[in-house]
Amino acid sequence: DPKIIQKPKYLVAVTGSEKILICEQYLGHNAMYWYRQSAKKPLEFMFSYSYQKLMDNQTASSRFQPQSSKKNHLDLQITALKPDDSATYFCASSQERLSSAETLYFGSGTRLTVL
């Protein structure tokens, strides 16, 4: 059974709309992350959360807002969608964020297409 669940697997949106990407992890981890993978680009770090608090934010746009309602949840709200936002968004988790030695485990991703 998958330990990091991302919903939906595929998402199609129109330009200007708003979507929420869901992520739940059942690994008992305290740190969660969002990464983005665009066509022909390496995986890019977006956010990291530790104990439901934002620790790092590498996104240039405020249109991307992570939301953590529970310790094992980290959703990603994207507003005013643009075609350039089309990508696969991966949620990840690790036991603790404070240690760089921690290994990240990834969900299966949400593939977002903005028309």
What residues make contact with other proteins under the rule CB under 8 A?
A: 31, 33, 35, 41-45, 48, 55-56, 58, 88, 90, 97-106, 108-109, 111
Beta bridge partners of 86: none
94 vs 61: CA distance, rounded Å: 25
Q: What are phi and psi of 84, to 5 degrees?
A: -65, -15
CB-wise, 17 or 58, nearer to other proteins? 58
Q: Can you tell me whether residue 80 is helix, strand or coil?
A: coil
Residue 76 C-beta: closest distance to other proteins, Å: 16
CB-wise, 65 or 95, nearer to other proteins? 95
Residue 103 C-beta: closest distance to other proteins, Å: 5
CB-wise, 79 or 111, nearer to other proteins? 111
Check the CA dihedral 38-83-73-22 and report its sign: negative
